């Protein structure tokens, strides 16, 4: 969503909450439907040719989007998350973490200390269905 679209959505949700018209979402609104999505390619007879996706109800998606934005704003303003927790956060990316890692490595070398780094590769983590 663009920033303008997000603001419209926020205003709409806040109006509903302020008017006391808020309600509990139904089970149908909260449930998702799991479907297999073909990854493309020439074969479709192996499990690795498919990946599971969850199709969410539109109401659920809107509510979760609003909650995500609100929680992210609270967490970032309060400094609750470790600055290195950059994944999926707007304005943060791997190049920032790489720059931090290079700086830490240079500082450690200058002080005669060691830096231990552990990398975890999740490339195939979700193909093991």
Cα separation, 127 vs 47, whole angstroms:
8
113 and 92 fall within a common domain = yes
Beta bridge partners of 34: 54
Whether 9 and 53 map to the same domain: the answer is: yes
User: Tens of pLDDT along 59-109?
Assistant: 777 777 777 777 777 877 877 766 555 555 566 666 677 788 889 999 999
pTM (predicted TM-score): 0.42
Q: Are residues 74 and 92 in the same domain?
A: no
Tokens for 116, please give them.
């231990």
Containing domain of residue 116, as a range? 86-129
Please, are residues 97 and 84 in contact by the beta-carbon 8 Å criterion? yes
- Phi/psi of residue 45, each to 5°? -105, 5
92 and 74 belong to one structural domain:
no
**Same domain? 102 vs 72:** no
Shared-domain flag, residues 46 and 91 = no
pLDDT 10s digits, 29-69: 778 888 899 988 888 888 888 888 888 777 777 777 777 77
């Amino acid at each position: 969503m663009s920033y303008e679209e997000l603001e419209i959505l926020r205003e709409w949700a806040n109006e509903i909450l302020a008017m006391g018209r808020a309600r509990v979402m139904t089970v149908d609104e909260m449930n998702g439907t799991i479907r297999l999505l073909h990854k493309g390619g020439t074969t479709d007879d192996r499990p690795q040719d498919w990946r599971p996706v969850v199709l969410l109800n539109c109401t659920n998606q809107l509510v979760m989007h609003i909650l995500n934005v609100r929680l992210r704003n609270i967490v970032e303003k309060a400094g609750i998350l470790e600055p290195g927790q950059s994944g999926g956060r707007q304005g943060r990316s791997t190049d920032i973490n790489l720059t931090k890692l290079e700086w830490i490595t240079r500082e450690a070398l200058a002080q005669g200390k060691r830096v231990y780094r552990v990398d975890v590769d999740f490339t195939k983590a979700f193909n093991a269905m």
